[in-house]
Amino acid sequence: MDIKELIFREIENVPEPYLIEILDFIRFLETKVVEQKMGLAIASESSLKKDWLKSEDDGHGKICKRRCVGRSTK
């Protein structure tokens, strides 16, 4: 029997006022997961931004500059 089945069986016997609290808790957990994902995304963005904005040239910029020079932008 998996965990969902166990939870469903237990919920069958829970009084109504507790069901409201359980639902609130489930929604809290969902919100917590979303907030954690957003926090990771923001942390990743700031660390990637540091690398992206480095002034060091690894050679790729030179290639792009050579290919893009003289092209018109429309």
Q: Consecutive sets of 10 residues in the chain, 74 residues long: mean pLDDT of each?
A: 93 94 93 78 65 57 54 52
> What is the biggest distance separating any 2 CA atoms in the chain, rounded to whole angstroms?
75
pLDDT at 27: 93
CB atoms within 10 A of CB 12: 7
pLDDT at 59: 54
Residue 32's SS3 state is: helix
Distance, in Å, from the CA atom of 74 to the CA atom of 72, rounded to the nearest integer, reads 6
Please give the full DSSP string across 7-59, using - where no structure is assigned.
Answer: HHHHHTTS-HHHHHHHHHHHHHHHHHHHHHHHHHHHHHHHHHHHHHT-----S
Segments making up each domain of the chain, as ranges: 25-54
pTM of the predicted model, to two decimals? 0.46
pLDDT at 20: 94
